[in-house]
Structure 1
Amino acid sequence: MEIKKCMGCGSELQIAHADQRGYARSMDHDYCQSCFRLKHYRDFKRVKARVDDGATLEFIDGFKGNIFWVLDIMHLNQSIHTGLLRSLRGKKVVLVVNKRDLLPKSVSNTKIEHAIMRALRDEPVSVMEIVYVSALKRETLEPLLPYIENDETAFVGCVNAGKSSLLNALLGNQNLSVSPVASTTADVVRIETGLGDVIDTPGLSNETELVDKISDDTLVSLSPQKTIKPTVFQIYEKQTILFGNLGAITITPKSTVNIISYLPVTLKRIKPERLDANLALEHEFMIENPEYRLRNWPQLEDKIDMEIYDLGFVSIQGETVAVETYFDKSAVITIRKAMI
């Protein structure tokens, strides 16, 4: 019998096991049940694809056409997958910087490009062009069209970088499944268009264990649809900035320090001695069963970004005497030179 795949996520359709990937009520359907609910009811319950990074990278290794590498600018460091970088070596790569519209317009593309180039400075990949896009603004995708017309094209990137959303916007349809809470592309999906063949690939694994501690409703709130208005805290003395019950950053300033949040969650300024009491309270942003770990950071530059994987980033600007973080053990935190 001919294998039939879901038009949304690429899973092989089956009618035998309702609790397994690719289940459909009838083999006459074009979508699995999970993708059908996403498409028609915006049911954001987790339908996370169990995908094989090795198979995806092997596909990219053998691909000869143009490659659109979709990078989530709100999660810059997390979007850089080491296995993908190796597979992109020697390829015809266009770097597609997604979610540009979430950053304020005052942030120039030049600053963003410099931040990306710093992150890729020692990596074995070169790009033909950098294109800044948003799935909500189809006109931003127009620079991609000549590449599609010229050759077969594949969209690649990490989980939730927004590949399927961009493809839907680019092609003017909503066939591919899109959820803000999980990876929904399970297999390579080839789409024949009037311009040329376009391929959607499964998102490469980059999520941390923190995701498993966040409810679906909260994860939806971590996928904003409009520009994030930065929140600024001026620090004149030792103070703590609270991230719900996820954890906190404590700053001891040498002079005035500004903490600028580009996160889609509300932060709170507290006294360091009140940290434990505040972590025990109810907050807008909550995780399940937190276990905390203290980390003291070495002397930092005057302007740095602190990226918290699966959440976003804050900028710390000014001279500090000490910076310490007290976050759930599942939180992955990296430091880079400030983007903005």
Structure 2
Amino acid sequence: MEELLCIGCGAPIQTQDKTGLGYTPQSALDKGLETGDLYCQRCFRLRHYNEISDVQLTDDDFLRLLHEVGDSQALVVNVVDIFDFNGSVIPGLPRFIAGNDLLLVGNKRDILPKSVKDKRVSQWLLERAHEEGLRPLDVILTSAYKKEAIKELIAKIEHYRKGRDVYVVGVTNVGKSTLINAIIQELSGDKDIITTSRFPGTTLDKIEIPLADGSYIYDTPGIIHRHQMAHYLSAKNLKYISPKKEIKPKTYQLNPEQSLFLGGLARFDFIAGERQGFTAYFDNNLKLHRTKLEGASDFYQKHVGSLLVPPTGKELADFPELVRHEFTIKEKTDLVFSGLGWLRVTGPAKIAAWAPKGVAVVLRKAII
């Protein structure tokens, strides 16, 4: 009997194990076979009720899929989050795709302020990719959510694939399946075929999308990256790190020995330098709180979860400790909190950044 696959997440459909991958009741399976809309119960609930049930793939499952990519002759399209390049990097990807061509796609362009120049963002992504051992043929910026630059992306894929299959890879929560849906809609007119959500890890097995010449685009599951900010927050609070609207910069005039708390997720210390403005680029709903550097750690312990949110509720028990990173800034620089946003520092200044353990804090040349 031909194997039936969920068109939302790619998992094999089965009717026996309610807790397993691809489970769907027999009645729903019969209906799906009639209509052609064959979704597992998990995807059905996610699409219609925004409910998610935990189904875990092991690291071995992801390694198997990456080996499959590496063993094929294909164009690899690596989707990264412009706001979270460090959290978007697939560990060991250069080794797995050795010999295959790579196209790098920076997603969520629509969230960046309009004053940000695409060329600077593309150059920064290219530099970071080189530091990770990746050698992309090209970089393109898109917005899967707003369907921006989708035609341009399809044209680049067609140009670089040269008749080969295409594997789309990325870590969880970068908008990869939303991007695939936008490509499918552009090519065929079909909307929202693949299951998408804010929740990390909603594609569970590779999904095949046929192309006119007999080749395929394969959408692969999001690789779990242990140090993404998204893994520390509940569904309710993911909105603070997955903005849907253009970020509006806010400038704070700080004296030395003052601190800014970025909700309860991170902290910025202005240690020494002339009084100056620091421009914050974070989700518009994230509350920033200014306080004195002296006693800031005690202030955090007292107010995290109440005045300083998120995290909230049950997240607090598992939220990692904040780790300090110190920098000396000499010229206009962006201090990037991976997966959250950035502060523009004019300098000269001695500063410190605090972020959850494992979440990267990096410097880059100011992109504005």
Structure 1 and Structure 2 fold alike (TM over 0.5): yes
Identify if the C-alpha distance between structure 1 residues 131 and 210 changes in structure 2 by more than 3 Å, giving closer, same or farther.
closer
1:8 deviation in Å?
0.9
1:216 deviation in Å?
1.3
Question: In the alignment, is residue 50 of structure 1 matched against residue 57 of structure 2?
Answer: yes
Which of these residues, 200, 209, 220, is aligned with residue 191 of structure 1?
Answer: 209
The CA distance in 2 between the partners of 1:78 and 1:339, in whole Å, is: 20
Unmatched runs of 5 consecutive residues or more in structure 2 = 33-37, 186-190
Query: Are the aligned partners of 2:205 and 2:221 in contact in 1 as well (CA < 8 Å)?
Result: yes
Query: Are the aligned partners of 1:266 and 1:285 in contact in 2 as well (CA < 8 Å)?
Result: no
The CA distance in 2 between the partners of 1:339 and 1:38, in whole Å, is: 39
SS of aligned partner of 2:6: coil
Unmatched runs of 5 consecutive residues or more in structure 1 = none
Counterpart mapping for 1:284-299 below 5 A: 284-286=309-311, 287-289=315-317, 290=319, 292-299=321-328
The CA distance in 2 between the partners of 1:292 and 1:127, in whole Å, is: 35
The CA distance in 2 between the partners of 1:116 and 1:194, in whole Å, is: 32
The CA distance in 1 between the partners of 2:139 and 2:106, in whole Å, is: 7
- Aligned-residue identity in percent: 27
The CA distance in 2 between the partners of 1:117 and 1:2, in whole Å, is: 43
Across the two proteins, how many residue pairs are aligned to each other?
Answer: 337
The CA distance in 1 between the partners of 2:139 and 2:8, in whole Å, is: 28
Query: Are the aligned partners of 1:304 and 1:317 in contact in 2 as well (CA < 8 Å)?
Result: yes
1:67 deviation in Å?
2.0
Q: Mean Cα displacement is larger for which, 294-303 or 100-109?
A: 294-303
1:70 deviation in Å?
0.9
1:331 deviation in Å?
4.9
The CA distance in 2 between the partners of 1:159 and 1:129, in whole Å, is: 22
C-alpha RMSD over aligned residues: 2.6
Structure 2 match to 1:317: 346
Structure 2 match to 1:32: 40
Code of the residue aligned with 2:180 in structure 1: it is: L
Code of the residue aligned with 1:97 in structure 2: it is: G
Higher relative contact order structure (alpha carbons within 8 Å, sequence separation ≥ 6): 1
Structure 1 match to 2:192: 174
Code of the residue aligned with 1:76 in structure 2: it is: F
Query: Are the aligned partners of 2:143 and 2:149 in contact in 1 as well (CA < 8 Å)?
Result: yes
Structure 2 match to 1:72: 81
The CA distance in 1 between the partners of 2:244 and 2:177, in whole Å, is: 15
1:198 deviation in Å?
1.4
1:171 deviation in Å?
1.0
Structure 1 match to 2:271: 252
1:235 deviation in Å?
1.9
Counterpart mapping for 1:255-270 below 5 A: 255-264=274-283, 265-270=286-291
Counterpart mapping for 1:111-260 below 5 A: 111-146=120-155, 147-148=157-158, 150-151=162-163, 152-172=165-185, 173-194=191-212, 197-208=216-227, 211-260=230-279
